Structure 1
């Protein structure tokens, strides 16, 4: 009986594998709660509204933390339903270190820390962690999942582009430091400080708070800005092509009929027919 209940809870929480009414309702409720918490954090920043409805904001926050805590505990308890987490101890530990499980833990764990002897000055920063609950949408959002697949597909090219960006950033910051330091010692006091100018120039944002005034510095800034235009267009093209490949592959997969499952052994029917011993078992 306990095993059936565990399996049922797992299927309800894992809506992607169990698209029944209760599973969908659980999924939509959690999505609503995550979005509502994010909106609540934004509204709480308006001091007049927060003071007027402080009790309701705190109550809703505690209710949300309670729901997320219960969800996490149920996921850890029922994860042994899967073969790869079958062991009651090591299987659960393996599940707890998966990325999604870590995100689920971060979504509520900081709110229990104020009840310890932690520094009260640092506890105020825990309010910012409520935005981390937005990461839980990655479990339910198809768009975020596709983005993850695209990044995984193009990870080598993106890493190569990142290496080029880092090389240009360090090189430009070093050059502009030696060129502009004597003319503007307060603006370019050292190479790490000059990296801020390099980032703003490479991205062609141009805040205008720091800029070269020497002729050589202006030439260097212009060259770097031109390189930045083409450099940041490169990862955009890689991600766009990756999206096309992933979406096309998903459409082909959706058009493929699902495999027929044998009611006796739970394996694909083609495999069962090729190996009739499953039927005798």
Structure 2
């Protein structure tokens, strides 16, 4: 029975009708539970939605914990001890904790968790399990992580170096190094908010160069992810 539960909640089998229904229910619950975050006012209906959602999430968490030996492919008590510390289990727990006080007002120790209301947004990461498209993107990013890390390091180095150059060329336009880093980041992404900008001709030239390099650097991860995405789609067919 536990193996069948594992197949339903963990294995993405398109031929398993019950598994697909479970995925649809969980995806719907996740997105419906995020609706209250879009409003500043707490309506009673939102309270009901959150209570129902968190009860479903708790059941899902317990089912996954109860089948941890199948998930981690290990026997004995070790997988059940190890599972709560896995990444997705932590995401599950973080998405549940902020709502616990809604079900039991006597848990005053946990009332501080209400301060972290926005932690509910972590529920969106739970959707990775239930969406085939998201799983493909996750696998693409994981398979291309070395290339993406290299591009990320290149971007960070460029931002820091550009910030050093601009703060020395125009010390009057930038109050501190953080402002220069902010300007370099905005220039790298070619957004250009215009709240902080150079005023000298040399500073403007540096800004133009930064923007041109930004186009090239920002295009790199897009190409890497697109190529990996196409490979994954072709492999499935």
> What TM-score does the superposition give when structure 1 sets the normalisation length?
0.76
In the TM superposition, residue 7 of structure 1 has moved relative to its aligned partner by 2.5
8 Å contact from structure 1 (residues 201, 225) kept in 2: yes
Residue aligning to 1:189: 175
Task: Assess, with a 3 A threshold, how the Cα gap between structure 1 residues 140 and 83 changes in structure 2: closer, same or farther.
Answer: closer
Residue aligning to 2:169: 179
Distance 1:19 1:79 in 2: 23
Question: Considering only aligned residues, what root-mean-square deviation do their CA atoms show, in Å?
Answer: 2.2
In the TM superposition, residue 83 of structure 1 has moved relative to its aligned partner by 6.8
List gaps (5 residues or longer) in structure 1: 252-281
Deviations 1:187-210 (A, max 9, x none): x11212210000111111011101
The answer to whether structure 1 residue 149 and structure 2 residue 131 are counterparts is: no
The answer to whether structure 1 residue 162 and structure 2 residue 152 are counterparts is: yes
Deviations 1:224-255 (A, max 9, x none): 1111111111111111111111111122xxxx
8 Å contact from structure 1 (residues 107, 130) kept in 2: yes
Distance 1:100 1:63 in 2: 21
Deviations 1:7-27 (A, max 9, x none): 232233225258434333222
Aligned ranges for residues 120-139 of structure 1 at < 5 Å? 120=112, 123-124=114-115, 126-139=116-129
Residue aligning to 1:70: 59
Deviations 1:96-149 (A, max 9, x none): 2222222222220232378343675x733x221222111111001111111112
Task: Assess, with a 3 A threshold, how the Cα gap between structure 1 residues 82 and 157 changes in structure 2: closer, same or farther.
Answer: closer
8 Å contact from structure 2 (residues 26, 130) kept in 1: no
Deviations 1:18-61 (A, max 9, x none): 8434333222211111111122322x33x4xx4xxx22210111
Q: Which has the higher contact order (CA 8 A, sep 6+)?
A: 2
Task: Assess, with a 3 A threshold, how the Cα gap between structure 1 residues 20 and 85 changes in structure 2: closer, same or farther.
Answer: same
- Number of aligned residues: 233
Distance 1:179 1:196 in 2: 16
Distance 1:40 1:148 in 2: 27
Task: Assess, with a 3 A threshold, how the Cα gap between structure 1 residues 14 and 153 changes in structure 2: closer, same or farther.
Answer: closer
3-state SS of the aligned residue for 1:208? coil
Residue aligning to 2:22: 26
> What TM-score does the superposition give when structure 2 sets the normalisation length?
0.89
3-state SS of the aligned residue for 2:12? coil
Kindly report structure 1 stretches of 4+ aligned residues shifted beyond 4 Å: none
3-state SS of the aligned residue for 2:109? coil
The answer to whether structure 1 residue 233 and structure 2 residue 222 are counterparts is: no
3-state SS of the aligned residue for 1:84? coil
Look at both structures and tell me which one has the larger radius of gyration over its CA atoms. Answer: 1
Distance 1:221 1:82 in 2: 51
List gaps (5 residues or longer) in structure 2: none
Q: 2:232 aligns with which of 227, 246, 266?
A: 246
8 Å contact from structure 1 (residues 33, 64) kept in 2: yes
